[in-house]
Chain A
Amino acid sequence: EEQLLESGGGLVQPGGSLRLSCAASGFTFSSYAMSWVRQAPGRGLEWVSGISGSGDNTYYAGSVKGRFTISRDNSKNTLYLQMNSVRDEDTAIYYCGKVRPGGLEVAPTTTWGQGTLVSVSS
């Protein structure tokens, strides 16, 4: 069974940093592009970032470009999101997801984790 398990969320002060992790199992991790999608409390979905299976190609939403860095360690079957210079508006549940093969490297997301909550507050 395919599984994704996020960790690393928590309370962080504005301007601070946090690293999210997403541990994958049940599929050949290196063969799939991966993505991060977030959802602010009571709000809709926002795509955040994506990465190719090899890690060579990365993609970012304008709202996080220059502050967040997506990466992966295929030897550890783990996806990361390094969040720097966080802002109040980054408060959200962050979901990692496996991208459907055969198309572009950013969507659609076919398998999702349960999410990890990031709260930005002083």
Chain B
Amino acid sequence: DIQMTQSPSSLSASVGDRVTITCQASHDISNYLNWYQQKPGKAPNLLIYDASNLETGVPSRFSGSGSGTDFTFTISSLQPEDVATYYCQQYDTLPTFGGGTKVEIK
């Protein structure tokens, strides 16, 4: 199995701050990397697919980059509605998720 190491596990930032989450794969996964947002008590929501493609309807303050083993997810200006847990997911082989990053407002 490909292991996905996501960091940090949690963060607290102010409204308007730039927030960055990283995900490292244990093997080269090319660009087969997705990012999801999950709000408490809700199903996940796809934000970014194939490392850097913004899913339809997702605000442009969300972005992703990277290829191979190292990936980055960025919220350019944190909003109150962005409080959630964010997960990366590789699907170069059978899918695996990172451990998640809980984002809170300071």
Segment from A9-17, A19-27, A67-75, A98-106 that makes contact with B:
A98-106
Question: Are B97 and A46 in contact, CB atoms less than 8 angstroms apart?
Answer: yes
Q: Looking at the assembled complex, report how far the CB atom of B86 sits from the nearest CB atom of chain A, in whole angstroms.
A: 11
Q: Mark A97-122, 1 if CB is under 8 A from B, else 0.
A: 00010011011111011110000000
Let me know if A113 and B43 touch, CB within 8 A: yes
A25–B68 alpha-carbon span in the complex (Å): 37
Chain B neighbourhood of A44, CB < 8 A: 87, 97-100
B33 smallest CB distance to A (angstroms): 9
**Nearest chain-B residue to A109 (Cβ)?**
B46
Closest to B89 in A: A107
Q: Report whether over half of chain B's contact residues are helix, strand or loop; otherwise say mixed.
A: loop
Chain B proximity of A89: nearest CB distance (Å): 16
| Residue among A59, A108, A112 making CB contact with B94, cutoff 8 Å | A59
Q: How far is the CB of A41 from chain B (nearest CB, A)?
A: 12
- Given A45-B38, A47-B89, A106-B95, residue A114 in contact with residue B49 (CB < 8 A): no
Assuming the A-B contacts A44-B97, A47-B94, are A112 and B89 also in contact, with contact meaning beta carbons closer than 8 angstroms in the complex? no
Check if A32 is an interface residue, CB within 8 A of chain B. Answer: no
* Residue ranges of A at the interface with B (Cβ–Cβ < 8 Å): 37, 44-47, 50, 59-62, 95, 100, 103-104, 106-110, 112-115
Given contact pairs A44-B97, A62-B1, A112-B44, enumerate 20 new A-B contacts (beta carbons under 8 Å): A45-B44, A45-B97, A47-B89, A47-B94, A47-B96, A47-B97, A59-B94, A62-B94, A100-B49, A103-B32, A104-B32, A106-B95, A107-B32, A107-B34, A107-B89, A108-B46, A108-B91, A109-B44, A110-B55, A115-B43
